Structure 1
Amino acid sequence: MWKSDDAVRSFAASAQQRERERHEQVLLLARLLPFDQQDAFTFLDLGAGTGAASRVLLAEYPRASAILAEYSPQMTAEGHRQMAPFAGRYRYVEMDMLASDWPAEVPPQLDAVVSALSIHHLPDARKQAIFGEIFGRLRPGAWYVNYDPIRAPDAVVEAVWERVNDRYDPEAPYERAHRTPQEQARYENHVRYMIPLAPQLEWLRQAGFIQVEVFWKRLDWVIYGGCRPGLTVSPSPSGRGPG
């Protein structure tokens, strides 16, 4: 759906509100990377869309450079417009996350990989495979961190999450029952391949990651990550980056 001009225009129109709502989580994702603010490093943003996560990282680390992997030309075009303040510090590469062949423009070794709201769009087998591919692209000691929604492990937990979310957003039940066709299509695309947290952490470990951790969680939203063995570092705002 992200190769539809109408879908991207609709997405972009509400982007500022979404980015404000998620800013603290994306900033936490940025600060989990083991770099000082003045470190120079290159990170890959998988499924980057219009660059919302990359903009937060580039603002937090003024000497960092970003590679934004995105498959939709429409999202990339909108991304170039929004990324203008960071001209010279980023580049887009066309990448289909459903394919195992990574574009040649992605370096064989990266200082960090991040993803935000993209992994949950992949079928389970592809989620597991891409974790291994990410692992293979990281320098020893480098980190992968992901911010994503998850599915509840069972119906009881799902009901708890929905009840609590509805308390915070009393209009949510009405909105669920009165989605427009376009909103319903976006919702179905959003949840189609969403799964619980536990198997994702296990797939990271199977891929070879160590120090796999959940760094933040609120009901159906989570930030988790892991490190490629090698140089021992911990993800903290003041930690040193991979050499």
Structure 2
Amino acid sequence: MDQVDTNEAIWKSDDAVRSFAASAQQRERERHEQLLLLARLLPFDQQDAFTFLDLGAGTGAASRVLLAEYPRASAILAEYSPQMTAEGDRQMAPFAGRYRYVEMDMLASDWPAEVPPQLDAVVSALSIHHLPDARKQAIFGEIFGRLRPGAWYVNYDPIRAPDAVLEAVWERVNDRYDPEAPYQRAHRTPQEQARYENHVRYMIPLAPQLEWLRQAGFSQVDVFWKRLDWVIYGGCRPTQE
């Protein structure tokens, strides 16, 4: 099953999205500090008015944190699943009038016309790792081309360990924090296993992703936060090129 079919089976399935939404509150509580850091990395005062693009927005978890942090900001949420968009509209209700969804398949290089040619910021959370390597590299260039000079792109995502030794270290430490994890790995349902395989299919180490940002033209490329297999990284489009 290829990536498109796998994503179709998961993220365009009513049952899968319903299951995803049922556990969303717990995930968002666990990730709130990271999403807040992502929001605060953008170079804006809290009362600034600006528009940002949330790539692979899902139900809008990242956008909700940003919109709460910046009361005058507006969000464009790019998402390809109608089911996720419908659930997102429900969860985004407190921010009505400050956001809109656009349909976008991140595997395609033709961006929807609804996305402005110049954006004040682009963010992504838990979406880039679903892309094949060539597409990751290409989309970094496309993001760069959509940013106005001086604007930032920031990404929150899981990564793969660069070698087996570190992979074992990361797993051991994670299991110490979550003693139920080994049992859960060994007793996944077929649906859980499919979601896990889709989750890790194109996951790669951090180093090439940082290099692709630099090759795309980004400056100030940095890792702003890292905990084992989770990172926040990004860069800025220079004001002068």
TM-score under structure 1 length normalisation: 0.94
Report how far residue 205 of structure 1 moved. Answer: 0.2
Per-residue CA deviations over 1:182-235 (Å, capped at 9, x if unaligned) read: 11011001000000000000000000000000000000000000000xxxxxxx
Structure 1 residue 154: deviation in Å? Answer: 0.2
In structure 2, the residue matched to 1:15 is 24
Q: Distance in 2 between matches of 1:24 and 1:180?
A: 30
> How far apart in 2 are the matches of 1:93 and 1:121?
19
- CA drift of 1:141 comes to 0.3
Distance 1:64 1:55 in 2: 11
Tell me which residue corresponds to 2:82: 73
CA distance in 2, matches of 1:204, 1:169: 33
CA shift, 1:114, in A, is 0.0
Distance 2:15 2:191 in 1: 10
Residues 137-190 of structure 1 deviation map (CA, whole Å, 9 limit, x = unaligned) = 000000000000000000000000000000000000000000011110110010
Distance 2:61 2:198 in 1: 20
Please give the secondary structure, in 2, of the residue aligned with 1:136: helix
Report the count of equivalent residues.
228
Q: 1:131 offset after TM fit, Å? A: 0.1
Instruction: Measure, in 1, the Cα distance between the counterparts of 2:60 and 2:29.
Output: 14
Q: How many Å separate the matches in 2 of 1:171 and 1:6?
A: 25
- CA offset at residue 136 of structure 1? 0.1
Name the SS of the counterpart of 2:11 in structure 1. Answer: coil
Other-structure match for 1:98? 107
| Percent of aligned pairs with the same amino acid | 97
Q: In structure 2, what is the Cα distance between the partners aligned to 1:40 and 1:119?
A: 27
- Please provide the CA RMSD for this pair: 0.3
1:204 to 193, 213, 225: 213
Cα deviation digits, residues 10-66 of structure 1 (max 9, x gap): 100000000000000000000000000000000000000000000000000000000
Q: Secondary structure at the match of 2:232?
A: strand
More helix, by proportion: 2
SS of corresponding position for 1:92? strand
Q: Distance in 1 between matches of 2:103 and 2:136?
A: 19
Secondary structure of 1:115 counterpart: strand
Specify the alignment match of 1:44 in structure 2. 53
1:25 aligns with 2:34: yes
Secondary structure of 1:106 counterpart? coil
Structure 2, gaps ≥5 residues long: 1-9
Deviation at 1:122, TM superposition (A): 0.2
Superimposed CA distance per residue, residues 89-110 of structure 1 (whole angstroms, 9 cap, x where no aligned partner): 0000000000000000000000
TM-score, with normalisation over the residues of structure 2?
A: 0.94
Indicate the larger mover: 178-187 or 103-112: 178-187
Question: What are the superposed Cα offsets for residues 75-126 of structure 1, whole Å, 9 maximum, x if unpaired?
Answer: 0000000000000000000000000000000000000000000000000000
What SS does structure 1 have at the residue aligned with 2:88? helix
CA–CA distance in 2 between the matches of 1:125 and 1:53?
25
- The answer for unaligned runs of 5 or more in structure 1 is 229-243
Q: Which has the higher contact order (CA 8 A, sep 6+)?
A: 1
Distance 2:120 2:161 in 1: 32
SS at match of 2:144: helix
The CA distance in 2 between the partners of 1:166 and 1:12, in whole Å, is 25
SS at match of 1:223: strand
* Aligned twin of 1:226: 235
